[in-house]
């Protein structure tokens, strides 16, 4: 029930300097009046000005529980548009829980995950796209993801969607008005106006859909799989990327038997890197399991880094990997360039048109070129964000695709010479699909599912 007063710990549950207990609801102020005592005992917080902070104590009857600072924020100028109180207490786990238990004892209930933000949405402070941006902001893995989430939270996506909907609604309203009052409003030539408007709208929506892949990569990272035959230098490469000895490196082929996974921030690019067992034919049962697992992982990869030992001849294991990478984004690393080469650059070029970089993990040579190559492959050489918006939600992408399809149907109706009232059906479908991105006419189950992914206290 949105009329309930809710409470939760808004900071991490660990021993820290400060913990914040957030309370929201109509009864927040009367509740804190029961628990708060100022140093001189002369303050009633519900009567204090909004957006003020007060030093005092949280008490249970005559017992002092903790020395605190309490922020008072009165509706509607709050995060939830309800009365909000935030108790800043000492950060020990025991004292934080004791204060929360006292709040619950005096009339609040524990907030569900994301319930504060859900109330902000339900009370009209933010739309659903901004609410989802808050979740992305909390979970941001790199600076790009952070900037994109902030742009979304400030209403960047909302502004684009709202303008598209306003333009579509104008066309719907004009057609319906002209059909109702043909004596004063003419539809002569309006079909071309509709086509021109849709062409402009399609361009914007298509750009958002196309760049949503970059949005997904910015948010989740690039699923990167390192492959190669045994002893090619895969684990050494992983250690270089991570910046520490994460994988065991020996001269013995087949040392890596299973996959190793690491998340790496490479100057703003998040790589979810998986180092696989060396791919080769083997009778070792354990190693074979690792090889089979590696082959399976390659299928779902966004990027494959194929490490070749340039000091040994190519063999059937390399040939198998060349076949595997034909339809995948791949960077080929010709490793061990510090040793006598048995494989030439031209030999690799004859087998694959993938980008090739000559490196030596041992000497750290050529490795800086990997970062630029990834930028070229995924971000057209750049990963600056500025004020651009990248769609990160699959739900938003699906609704944009539905809107785009509806607009295409309108164009087809114009081409087929259909009556103008047919246009409004598909125009309205496009309008509603875009509205669902902002949270209009969305089902309650979907709203609950979205906010269930949030952390407690937010």
Question: Do 98 and 173 reside in the same domain of the chain?
Answer: no
Q: In this predicted model, what pLDDT tens digit does every residue of 151-193 receive, in sequence order?
A: 888 888 999 999 999 999 999 999 998 888 887 788 888 889 9
Question: Do 356 and 427 reside in the same domain of the chain?
Answer: yes
Question: Do 80 and 208 reside in the same domain of the chain?
Answer: no
Q: In this predicted model, what pLDDT tens digit does every residue of 54-91 receive, in sequence order?
A: 999 999 989 999 999 999 999 999 999 999 999 999 98
Sequence-distant (6+) residues with CB within 8 A of 73 are 50, 51, 79, 83, 84, 85, 86
Q: In this predicted model, what pLDDT tens digit does every residue of 87-100 receive, in sequence order?
A: 999 988 899 999 99
Alpha-helix residue ranges (DSSP H) falling in 328-392: 345-351, 368-379
Q: Is residue 256 part of a domain?
A: yes
Q: Is residue 88 part of a domain?
A: yes
Question: Do 216 and 273 reside in the same domain of the chain?
Answer: yes
Q: In this predicted model, what pLDDT tens digit does every residue of 391-408 receive, in sequence order?
A: 888 999 999 999 999 999
- Average pLDDT score over residue span 430-435: 96
- What pLDDT does residue 95 have? 92
Highest mean pLDDT among 114-128, 131-145, 319-333: 114-128
Q: Is residue 447 part of a domain?
A: no
Question: Do 302 and 231 reside in the same domain of the chain?
Answer: yes
Sequence-distant (6+) residues with CB within 8 A of 440 are 432
Which comes out higher in pLDDT, residue 361 or 157? Answer: 157
Q: Is residue 318 part of a domain?
A: yes
- What pLDDT does residue 378 have? 79
| Token output for 267 | 């100057």
Q: For residues 422 and 411, what is the distance between their CA atoms, to the nearest angstrom?
A: 11
Beta pairing class for 303-309 and 330-335: parallel
CATH code of the domain containing 194: 3.40.50.300
| Domain's final residue, options 120, 155, 171 | 120
With cut-offs at 50, 70 and 90, classify the pLDDT of residue 380: low
- What pLDDT does residue 289 have? 54
Distances (CA, A) of 387 to 110, 150, 156, 157, 406: 38, 10, 8, 11, 28
Question: Do 154 and 215 reside in the same domain of the chain?
Answer: yes
Q: Is residue 453 part of a domain?
A: no
Q: Is residue 454 part of a domain?
A: no
CATH code of the domain containing 100: 3.30.1360.120
Q: Is residue 251 part of a domain?
A: yes
Domain region containing 100: 6-120
For 36, the 3-state DSSP assignment is strand
Q: In this predicted model, what pLDDT tens digit does every residue of 257-302 receive, in sequence order?
A: 345 778 888 777 788 888 765 554 544 554 455 556 666 677 788 8
For 436, the 3-state DSSP assignment is helix
| Domain's final residue, options 60, 95, 120 | 120
Q: For residues 161 and 167, what is the distance between their CA atoms, to the nearest angstrom?
A: 10
User: In what order do the strands lie in the sheet containing 84-91?
Assistant: 36-38, 52-60, 63-73, 84-91, 16-24, 6-9, 109-110
Cα 213–chain centre separation: 11
Q: In this predicted model, what pLDDT tens digit does every residue of 411-429 receive, in sequence order?
A: 999 999 888 888 999 999 9
Question: Do 61 and 136 reside in the same domain of the chain?
Answer: no
- What pLDDT does residue 381 have? 53
| Domain's final residue, options 120, 149, 183 | 120
Question: Do 164 and 42 reside in the same domain of the chain?
Answer: no
| Token output for 72 | 């008072």
Task: Give the least confident one: 29-38, 242-251, 369-378.
Answer: 242-251
Q: What percent of the chain has pLDDT over 90?
A: 40
Q: Is residue 446 part of a domain?
A: no
Single pTM value for the model: 0.75
- What pLDDT does residue 125 have? 93
Q: In this predicted model, what pLDDT tens digit does every residue of 223-257 receive, in sequence order?
A: 888 888 777 888 788 887 776 444 433 343 444 43
Question: Do 33 and 181 reside in the same domain of the chain?
Answer: no
Question: Do 73 and 102 reside in the same domain of the chain?
Answer: yes
Question: Do 343 and 268 reside in the same domain of the chain?
Answer: yes
Question: Do 364 and 215 reside in the same domain of the chain?
Answer: yes
Give yes or no for residue 211 having a pLDDT over 90. Answer: no
Count how many domains the chain has: 2
């Amino acid at each position: 029930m949105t009329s309930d007063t809710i409470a939760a710990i808004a900071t991490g549950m660990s021993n820290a300097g400060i913990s914040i207990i957030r309370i929201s609801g109509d009864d927040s102020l009367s509740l804190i009046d029961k628990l708060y005592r100022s140093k001189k005992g002369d303050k009633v917080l519900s009567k204090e000005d909004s957006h003020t902070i007060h030093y005092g104590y949280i008490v249970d009857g005559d017992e002092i529980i903790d020395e605190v600072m309490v922020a008072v924020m009165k509706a509607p100028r709050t995060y939830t548009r309800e009365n909000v109180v935030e108790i800043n207490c000492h950060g020990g786990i025991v004292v934080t829980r004791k204060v929360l238990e006292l709040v619950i004892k005096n009339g609040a209930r524990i907030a569900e995950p994301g319930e504060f933000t859900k109330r902000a949405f339900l009370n009209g402070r933010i739309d659903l796209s901004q609410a989802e941006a808050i979740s992305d902001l909390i979970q941001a893995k790199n600076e790009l993801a952070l900037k994109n989430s902030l742009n979304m939270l400030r209403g960047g996506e909302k502004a684009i969607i709202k303008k598209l909907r306003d333009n579509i609604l104008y066309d719907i309203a004009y057609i319906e008005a002209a059909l109702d009052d043909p004596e004063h409003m003419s539809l002569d030539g309006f079909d071309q106006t509709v086509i021109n408007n849709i062409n402009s709208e399609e361009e914007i929506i298509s750009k958002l859909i196309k760049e949503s892949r970059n949005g997904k990569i910015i948010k989740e990272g690039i699923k990167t799989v390192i492959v190669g035959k045994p002893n090619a230098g895969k684990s050494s490469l992983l250690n270089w990327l991570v910046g520490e000895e994460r994988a065991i490196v020996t001269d013995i082929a087949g040392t890596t038997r299973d996959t190793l996974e690491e998340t790496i921030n490479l100057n703003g690019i998040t790589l979810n890197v998986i180092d696989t067992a060396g791919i080769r034919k083997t009778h070792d049962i354990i190693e074979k399991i690792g090889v089979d697992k590696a082959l399976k992982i390659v299928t779902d990869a966004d990027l494959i880094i194929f490490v070749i030992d340039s000091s040994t001849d190519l063999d059937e294991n390399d040939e198998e990997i060349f076949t595997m990478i034909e339809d995948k984004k791949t960077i080929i690393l010709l490793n061990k360039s510090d040793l006598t080469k048995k494989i030439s650059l031209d030999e690799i070029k004859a087998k694959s048109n993938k980008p090739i970089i000559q490196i030596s993990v041992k000497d750290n040579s050529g490795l800086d070129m990997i970062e630029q190559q990834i930028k070229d492959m995924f971000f057209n050489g750049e990963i600056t964000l500025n004020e651009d918006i990248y769609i990160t939600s699959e739900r938003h992408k699906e609704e944009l695709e539905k809107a785009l399809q509806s607009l295409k149907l309108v164009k087809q109706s114009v081409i087929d010479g259909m009556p103008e009232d047919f246009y409004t059906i598909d125009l309205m479908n496009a309008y509603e699909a875009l509205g669902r991105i902002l949270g209009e006419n969305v089902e309650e189950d979907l709203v609950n599912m979205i906010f269930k992914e949030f952390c407690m206290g937010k």
